[in-house]
């Protein structure tokens, strides 16, 4: 087979974006994918299907609870789960086809099968039929992503005890759902099934939800979720699930030790995180070094311990997010082309796509306190934002953290409708090293929810207008 400039193993958002950028820069590129469809976790069993179900279930809830107060009369909405799943699948298919199209457009060869690194410049691709071919290439990028993390002693059958993958395809709405883990995925999928009718209990080992996000925002988010009907058991761990009865019985123990209790549920969702996926890649034989958490170890240029072998995305350190993987893919391709590819890890937004949404970029207040950084904080609630008031969607607030001496924005945290869109004005500002005053002096269209971001920036200087 003709030698390539680059072979990328894995076609998630890291891998396919890296391949496209490399092709744009004139390289001859191939991608290797073991799954039947391109797009990786994100497109097939992650970001995209979860957002389709979040969208559909949100509208279902709105139709049942919010339409009447706006003067829209509809009869009580009913869930047609098979059709909702078809809607979800159509969204997946559309995106997967989009990636196939982009591979063709950029003249990238798609090699179907499992990739194994045989050493510098050599990748073995074994198809589903067992036939293996070896391709030669100047460079290899590992973009094999991640897999679900499992709980010892609790077997996931993807029917009653599910991972996120099974929770995206339940055949009926469970009357009760026990979610293990109060992270982003657990709260998003918990929201989907609560809106569709399940009674949702979330068990979390730590004493707070959304570990890593700003704790003030997380506290308010918990209160809002509780109002919506979520029950939380914090500082607790699930130590076993008895599957012998018609209903599952989970054993919950306080994290600090103490008496156990049982919680019954139709379905248990294990959402305790994800682990890097390197199975069958031949890394050990090839001499690619992993870190103590099983992630491929890389330097600042994404290079592994083996010359010509690079790695990006969920399989390396850093937040397991699609856009982080994409940006690493672009930077890695640019470095291979001799350019100065770079990812600014200080400005990677994180979003929880619930209602309201939670969005964050940069440092949290907890991190600034811990680092002893002198900061000023400006907050503005959506209850004081005109657009939110007329729409009667006033939950949440915007919080901006700025350096006390220079006024440079160090972090922005938003809880509220469309927070996942609003956060990007802070992200762009931070990318340019902007100050709270820069943001406050930028004219914002009225009436928009974005005005709350401007007002929070004004509040950093204690001069918010509408508060």
Q: Are strands 231-234 and 236-242 parallel, antiparallel or unpaired?
A: unpaired
Which range, of 138-146, 392-400, 403-411, 455-463, touches ligand FAD by CB under 6 A?
A: 138-146
Q: Which of 298, 289, 335 is nearest to 318 (CA)?
A: 298
- Judged by CB under 6 A, the number of residues near ligand FAD is 36
Q: Is 327 in the site for ligand FAD (CB under 6 A)?
A: no
Q: Is 385 in the site for ligand FAD (CB under 6 A)?
A: no
| Residue 349 or 381 with smaller CB distance to ligand FAD | 349
Q: Pull the structure tokens for residue 150.
A: 């499992």
| Residue 114 or 379 with smaller CB distance to ligand FAD | 114
Instruction: Name residue 409's beta-bridge partners.
Output: 402
Give yes or no: 413 in active site: no
Which range, of 61-69, 322-330, 364-372, 426-434, touches ligand FAD by CB under 6 A?
A: 322-330
Q: Are strands 409-416 and 350-352 parallel, antiparallel or unpaired?
A: unpaired
Which range, of 30-38, 252-260, 292-300, 331-339, touches ligand FAD by CB under 6 A?
A: 30-38
Q: Is 434 in the site for ligand FAD (CB under 6 A)?
A: no
Instruction: Name residue 29's beta-bridge partners.
Output: 6
The one among 46, 181, 396, 434 contacting ligand FAD by CB under 6 A:
46
Per-residue contact string for residues 171-210; x = within reach of ligand FAD by CB under 6 A: --------------x-------------------------
In angstroms, what is the minimal distance from the CB of 118 to ligand FAD? 12
| Residue 308 or 318 with smaller CB distance to ligand FAD | 318
Q: Is 29 in the site for ligand FAD (CB under 6 A)?
A: no
Scan residues 151-170 and list those touching ligand FAD (CB under 6 A): 164
The one among 4, 7, 15, 398 contacting ligand FAD by CB under 6 A:
15
Q: Which of 174, 168, 179, 186 is nearest to 48 (CA)?
A: 168
The one among 29, 42, 218, 238 contacting ligand FAD by CB under 6 A:
42
Distance between CA atoms of residues 283 and 12, nearest Å: 19
Per-residue contact string for residues 271-310; x = within reach of ligand FAD by CB under 6 A: ------x--xx-----------------------------
The one among 137, 144, 201, 388 contacting ligand FAD by CB under 6 A:
144
Q: Is 40 in the site for ligand FAD (CB under 6 A)?
A: yes
Angle at CA of residue 133, ends 129 and 137, nearest 5°: 140
Q: Which of 65, 342, 446, 466 does the annotation list as catalytic?
A: 446
In angstroms, what is the minimal distance from the CB of 381 to ligand FAD? 26
Which range, of 210-218, 220-228, 321-329, 356-364, touches ligand FAD by CB under 6 A?
A: 321-329
What residues act catalytically? Answer: 446
- List residues binding ligand FAD (CB under 6 A): 9-15, 32-35, 40-42, 46-47, 50, 114-115, 143-146, 164, 185, 277, 280-281, 313-314, 320-323, 325, 353
């Amino acid at each position: 087979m003709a030698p390539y400039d680059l072979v990328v193993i894995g076609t998630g958002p890291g891998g396919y974006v890296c391949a496209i950028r490399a092709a744009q820069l004139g390289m001859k590129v191939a991608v290797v994918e073991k799954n039947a469809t391109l797009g990786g976790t994100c497109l097939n069993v992650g970001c995209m299907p979860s957002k389709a179900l979040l969208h559909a279930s949100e509208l279902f809830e709105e139709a049942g609870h919010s339409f009447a107060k706006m003067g829209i009369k509809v009869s009580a909405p009913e869930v047609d789960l098979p059709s909702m799943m078809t809607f979800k699948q159509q969204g997946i298919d559309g995106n997967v086809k989009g990636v196939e199209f982009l591979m063709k457009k950029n003249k990238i060869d798609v090699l179907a099968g499992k990739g194994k690194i045989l050493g510098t410049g050599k990748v073995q691709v074994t198809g589903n039929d067992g036939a293996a071919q070896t391709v030669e290439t100047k460079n290899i990028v590992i973009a094999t992503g991640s897999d679900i993390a499992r709980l010892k002693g609790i077997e996931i059958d993807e029917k009653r005890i599910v991972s996120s993958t099974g929770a995206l395809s339940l055949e009926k709405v469970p009357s009760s759902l026990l979610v293990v883990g109060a992270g982003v995925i657990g709260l998003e999928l918990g929201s989907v099934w609560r809106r569709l009718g399940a009674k949702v209990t979330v068990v979390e080992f730590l004493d707070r939800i959304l570990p890593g996000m700003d704790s003030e925002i997380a506290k308010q988010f918990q209160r809002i979720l509780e109002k919506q009907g979520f029950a939380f058991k914090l500082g607790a761990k699930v130590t076993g699930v008895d599957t012998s009865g018609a209903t599952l019985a989970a054993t919950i123990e306080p994290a600090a030790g103490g008496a156990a209790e049982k919680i019954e549920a139709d379905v248990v969702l294990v959402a305790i995180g994800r682990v890097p996926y390197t199975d069958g890649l031949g890394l050990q034989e090839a001499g690619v070094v992993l870190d103590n958490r099983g992630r491929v170890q890389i330097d600042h240029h994404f290079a592994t311990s083996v010359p010509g072998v690079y790695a990006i995305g969920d399989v390396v350190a850093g937040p397991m997010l699609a856009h982080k993987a994409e940006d690493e893919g672009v930077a890695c391709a640019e470095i291979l082309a001799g350019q100065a590819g770079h990812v600014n890890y200080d400005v990677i937004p994180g979003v929880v796509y619930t209602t309201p949404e939670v969005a964050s970029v940069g440092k949290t207040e907890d991190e600034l306190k811990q680092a002893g950084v002198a900061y000023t904080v400006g907050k503005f609630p959506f209850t004081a934002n005109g657009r939110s008031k007329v729409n009667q969607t006033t939950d949440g607030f915007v919080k901006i953290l700025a350096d006390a001496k220079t006024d440079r924005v160090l972090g922005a945290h938003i809880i509220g409708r469309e927070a996942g869109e609003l956060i990007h004005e802070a992200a762009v500002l931070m990318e340019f090293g902007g100050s709270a005053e820069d943001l406050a002096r930028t004219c914002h269209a009225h009436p928009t929810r974005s005005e709350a971001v401007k007002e929070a920036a004004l509040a950093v200087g204690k001069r918010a207008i509408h508060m």
